[in-house]
Structure 1
Amino acid sequence: MKRFFGFVKKEFFHIFRDVRTMIILFGIPIAQLLLFGTVITNEIKDAHLAIYDQSKDEVTREITDKLLSSGYFVLNSYLDNDGDIEAIFKKGKVKEVLVFGPNFGQTLEREGKADVQIIADASDPNVGKLLASYTTGIINDYILKEMGELKMPMQITPEVRMFYNEELESVYMFVPGIMAMILMLISAMMTSISITREKELGTMEILLVSPLRPVQIILGKVAPYLILSVVNAVMILGIGHLVFGVPIHGSWVLLMAESILFILMALCLGILISAVAKNQMVAMFISLVALMLPTILLSGFMFPIENMPVPLQVLSHLMPPRWFIVILKNIMLKGTGFLFVWEETLILIIMAAVFTAIAVKKFKTRLE
């Protein structure tokens, strides 16, 4: 028994000396708990709100102040006409527009009722539904307090309208997110494993002394995954459109061009992972932990980025799927052109260039 306890003690020392094992045992669970605990929430806060106030009286100002003081909304801008509503939604920052009709306060005082229109961006149906619900609740609370003071029945009837997804179909949100996740995993993980396999088996050195240049070898390794990932992208878009009814209002050419750019960026990331990883298992582990979880949690795919703590919001800027999902939603659901997604496109190009530069430097270091 003494030998057994000595053996167990030796195993504990072996585990404690291995930094990688300690990270897997304690670091990853703590990181996941912090991520899930701070990211997963059903509340919405600091959603950007635009207001089209045709009345500009005391009642509309009080309702606006009550909405902004609730903590759920942040004022983005006041609109001058109803033609600005769709334009500001296409920019992507504003999640809801509140429209007050002419002579709102006078109508409410004279007739005891008035109408207000709530227009929400339902490209993320959960967020759109929650914001409309919050707005309706705040307006009803305002009316209850006013009724108590004025001793007369008053009613404000909110007319709710959902932009881009009137039926609140959740598949409109999932198709772009799943497409980003699949293309990221297939392109980055399979490329990293493929190149790492060559290094692990010792055949990379044989390839390097062949007539092919190193750049040609890398391109030859990633070219099949580029073609297969493009086929995957077409399949996902086709199934989403034909089977689930997800609309594609924008240009197919622009959509495929952006998809190919994202795939190229993911391939560059896969090359970088293969330059860092020592074997296939490490490459797969890095791909799954460093790509899949952030894609699900920090890209805006499942949970609104505005709900996250500021450090995680900053970290989300480094997640390529975040920018690709914005591009997909803009082209597919909002029907926008390149002028509305050029910033996200530029970010993906810069990321691809940075990943490639770091990977080339790492490869050179390893080969020396």
Structure 2
Amino acid sequence: MNRSFIAFVRKEVTHIVRDPRTMLIALLIPVVQMILFGFAISTELNDVEVVVATPKMTPAIESKVAQMAQNPYITFRGYITTDKVDHCLSSNEALAVVVFSRDYDRNGKFQIVADASNTTTAQTATGYLTNILSESKAAVAPNVRILFNPQLKSSYNFVPGIMGLIFILICAMLTSVSIVREKETGTMEVLLVSPIRPVMIVVAKMIPYFALACIDLVSILLISRYALDVPLSGSMTALFALSFVYIILALALGLFVSTLVESQMAALLISGMVFMMPVIMLSGMMFPIENMPTVLQWVSNIVPARWYIPAMRKIMIEGLGFGYVAKEGLVLTFMAVALVAISVKRFNNRLQ
């Protein structure tokens, strides 16, 4: 039995190695996705184009404008008259206009007018300008400390989310397509007449993809650390253990999909499209779960990435150990065991 099982694993490894498309999907696409998403998805605004409108120039206004122009996130585009504010924004000459009052030297009043057709950039730009131009009126200025991500880099937030998305898509896609392809070509019946049990056939097919996913995990962590400057300050044992459980869960999802469909195209659509939206929308990857309606917060509990992504943030960014992600680890383990059991049972029922 052991020799037969090893032979099946070896057969699947040979099949994967000889299939350049599978190798491309398994090894290259996750790396490309991590690089593209890591650099493209950003809440930082590095080039805020600003103009200044003022009825008259004063030394205080000149000082503030010089302070604003020296900021690396601000691109100062010059001065306009107050009647040109709307035209300046509608013609995309600037993202925001700072309007100083005529008596700014005496009352310190100013107004920020921003183009809010893109609310994210408008909020970020007004935040930058408010921090630069406002003066604290308190007797004692507050002492603000930002922990774990003092530079407020968006990659710290998105990289764990991208990891949760990549493993679900790639692992589920590879497993489901591999098994459905055997059924489409009629080779599954040939495999079933072998002395090994059907469940072991499925496990043998999953092992090579688990190994490929582990290679992807190492590649992603290296890119995160050395290309995106994301710290790996927590327990690496906890990180790998939790990721292994999540990968097994994703592979089990692919097995489950293979019990529902009869064609590779259907398997690709479900694995690539149906799983993508819940991960992006309900896992906390893009939007805080706490801001969602109560119903969606409950629904998010059945999304595996909803537990994996926060755990990765705790380990990678906050530098915590396994004790702080034990809850997430237990939930993911339960999901993995339950999904493997359900998928294997459905798979056996379909074979019978």
Structure 2 runs not aligned, ≥5 long: 1-42, 44-119
- Secondary structure of 1:246's counterpart equals coil
- Secondary structure of 1:363's counterpart equals helix
Q: Which of the residues 317, 328, 346 maps onto 2:301?
A: 317
Letter in 1 for 2:142: P
Which residue pairs with 2:90 in the alignment?
none
1:300 aligned onto 2:284? yes
- Secondary structure of 1:164's counterpart equals coil
Aligned length: 225
Cα deviation, 1:265-322, whole Å, max 9, x if unaligned, reads 1111111111111211111111123211111111101111111111111111111011
Which residue pairs with 1:198 in the alignment?
182
Q: Which of the residues 234, 241, 244 maps onto 1:257?
A: 241
Q: How far apart in 1 are the matches of 2:332 and 2:218?
A: 20
1:288 aligned onto 2:290? no
| Residues 154 and 253 of structure 1: CA distance in aligned 2, closer, same or farther (over 3 Å) | closer
Cα deviation, 1:179-229, whole Å, max 9, x if unaligned, reads 111111111111011001111111111111112221221111111110000
1:227-238 correspondence to structure 2 within 5 Å? 227-238=211-222
| Residues 270 and 157 of structure 1: CA distance in aligned 2, closer, same or farther (over 3 Å) | same
Q: Which of the residues 198, 213, 233 maps onto 1:214?
A: 198
Q: How far apart in 1 are the matches of 2:237 and 2:304?
A: 21
Which residue pairs with 2:208 in the alignment?
224
Q: How far apart in 1 are the matches of 2:291 and 2:238?
A: 30
| Residues 277 and 190 of structure 1: CA distance in aligned 2, closer, same or farther (over 3 Å) | same
Letter in 2 for 1:287: S
| TM superposition shift of 1:159 | 3.2
TM-score by length of 1: 0.58
Query: RMSD in angstroms over aligned alpha carbons?
Result: 2.4
Which residue pairs with 1:76 in the alignment?
none
Q: How far apart in 1 are the matches of 2:152 and 2:178?
A: 41
Which residue pairs with 1:240 in the alignment?
224
Q: How far apart in 2 are the matches of 1:262 and 1:366?
A: 26
Residue pair 2:156, 2:230 contacting (<8 A) in 1 also: yes
Q: How far apart in 1 are the matches of 2:138 and 2:314?
A: 40
Structure 1 runs not aligned, ≥5 long: 1-41, 43-125, 144-152
Which residue pairs with 2:315 in the alignment?
331
Letter in 1 for 2:177: I
TM-score by length of 2: 0.60
Q: How far apart in 1 are the matches of 2:274 and 2:197?
A: 30
User: Per chain length, whose mean CA-contact separation is higher, i.e. which structure has more relative contact order (CA < 8 Å, sep 6+)?
Assistant: 2
Letter in 1 for 2:293: P
- Secondary structure of 1:160's counterpart equals coil
- Secondary structure of 1:277's counterpart equals coil
Q: How far apart in 2 are the matches of 1:363 and 1:215?
A: 8
Letter in 1 for 2:160: P
Cα deviation, 1:11-55, whole Å, max 9, x if unaligned, reads xxxxxxxxxxxxxxxxxxxxxxxxxxxxxxx9xxxxxxxxxxxxx
- Secondary structure of 1:268's counterpart equals helix
Letter in 2 for 1:291: F
Q: How far apart in 2 are the matches of 1:156 and 1:278?
A: 69
Which residue pairs with 1:81 in the alignment?
none
Which residue pairs with 1:345 in the alignment?
329
1:1-368 correspondence to structure 2 within 5 Å? 157-368=141-352
| TM superposition shift of 1:242 | 1.2
Runs of 4+ in 1 over 4 A off after TM superposition: 153-156
